[in-house]
């Protein structure tokens, strides 16, 4: 059984088909990129996979559970337990330190554990910046805090929305290397991007256009390493 499976998924707003009969399978431990131009339905797809929205039609099976049929309350629970979110604009709480931002995800999941949060920051190489506020961190560092926050509750899937969209080349490389490390550890990664270079690092790239799944590209030479 696939970890994630989309079966004939539609998302319709009036006359607009944001997603139009999309079928997709993601296996456990796989690294998949979702690519496409603006308005292709990438964000809509991410919202549905991230349990923040429901499809108009179709099934979305996450670990065997059809999340399309779940209540908002259950979706919150599933999102909390199974999904780790990474955003293009980081979305760190600006009055909390890096460590507290990581602990925030623990707080809403179970119980904040300072040591565990510190270990997550160590994994992303930011142990020495734990006490800093987001405004005292560079963009790349903020994104790494965001990755640590996404990892802290051991989610089934890390869902990253344009994770390198706001980063310079150097930080982009650091973040992609981090993804590679996570993938090597067995983490399932779904990365939404419009950057072909970032997309091509993944094992498989899914291309969306006008809400339809246009094509899938398997990276035969997958190494997970990133070269500009």
Partner 1 sequence: MFLRMVRGTLFRQWKKMLMIAFTIALGASLCTAMLSVVLDVKDKVNQELKAYGANITVVPKQASILNDLYEVEGQSAGTVYLKEDELGNIKTIFWAFNIVDFAPFVNTEAILDDGSSVAVTGSWFHHHLSLPTGEELDAGMNSLRSWWDITAGEWIDEASMEETAVMIGDALAERTGLSAGDTIHLKGTEKEGNYWIAGVFNAGGDEDQQIFMQLNEAQALSGLDGCVNSIEVSALTTPDNELAVKAARDPSSLTIAQYETWYCTAYVSSICYQIQEVITDSVASAVRQVADSEGAILDKTQLLMILITILALVGSALGICNLVTASVMERSRELGLVKALGAYNRSVMSPVLTEILITAVVGGVAGFFAGIGFAQIIGHSVFNSSIAIRPMLIPIVTILVLLVTFAGCIPAFRTILKLEPTVVLHGG
Rounded Cα distance, 121 and 132, in Å: 12
Taking CB under 8 A as the criterion, the residue among 161, 163, 164, 179 binding partner 1 is 161
74 binds partner 1 (CB under 8 A): no
47 binds partner 1 (CB under 8 A): yes
164 binds partner 1 (CB under 8 A): no
Contacts of 46 (CB under 8 A, 6+ apart): 34, 159, 161, 190, 192
What DSSP string describes 24-86?
Answer: EEE-TT-EEEEE--TTSSHHHHHHHHTTSS--SEEEEEETTEEGGGS-HHHHHHHHHHHEEEE
User: With CB under 8 A as the contact rule, which of the stretches 99-107, 122-130, 183-191, 199-207 interacts with partner 1?
Assistant: 99-107
Q: How many amino acids of this chain bind partner 1 (CB under 8 A)?
A: 29
76 binds partner 1 (CB under 8 A): yes
Q: Which is nearer to partner 1, 43 or 164 (CB)?
A: 43
118 binds partner 1 (CB under 8 A): no
Taking CB under 8 A as the criterion, the residue among 16, 23, 108, 131 binding partner 1 is 108
Least separation in angstroms between CB 77 and partner 1: 7
Asked if residue 145 lies in contact with residue 98, where contact means CB atoms within 8 angstroms, the answer is: yes
Site for partner 1 in 166-225 (CB under 8 A): none
Rounded Cα distance, 178 and 185, in Å: 11
H-helix or E-strand containing 149?
helix 139-151
154 binds partner 1 (CB under 8 A): no
């Amino acid at each position: 059984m696939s970890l994630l499976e989309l079966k004939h998924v539609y998302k319709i707003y009036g006359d607009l088909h944001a997603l139009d009969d999309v079928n997709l399978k993601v296996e456990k431990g796989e690294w998949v990129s979702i690519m496409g131009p603006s308005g292709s339905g990438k964000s809509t797809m991410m919202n549905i996979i991230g349990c923040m929205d429901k499809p108009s039609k179709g099934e979305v099976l996450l670990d065997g559970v059809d999340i399309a049929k779940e209540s908002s309350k259950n979706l919150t629970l599933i999102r909390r337990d199974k999904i780790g979110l990474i955003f293009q604009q980081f979305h760190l709480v600006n009055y909390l330190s890096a460590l507290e931002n990581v602990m925030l995800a623990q707080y809403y999941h179970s119980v904040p554990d300072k040591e565990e949060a510190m270990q997550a920051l160590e994994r992303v190489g930011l142990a020495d910046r734990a006490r800093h506020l987001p405004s005292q961190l560079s963009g790349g560092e903020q994104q790494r805090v965001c990755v640590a926050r996404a990892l802290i509750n051991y989610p089934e899937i890390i869902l990253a929305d344009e994770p390198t969209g706001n980063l310079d080349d150097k930080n982009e490389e650091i973040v992609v290397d981090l993804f590679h490390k996570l993938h090597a550890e067995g983490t399932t990664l779904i990365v939404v991007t419009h950057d072909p270079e970032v997309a091509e690092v993944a094992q498989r790239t899914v291309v969306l256009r006008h809400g339809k799944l246009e094509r899938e590209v398997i990276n035969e030479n997958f190494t997970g390493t990133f070269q500009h």
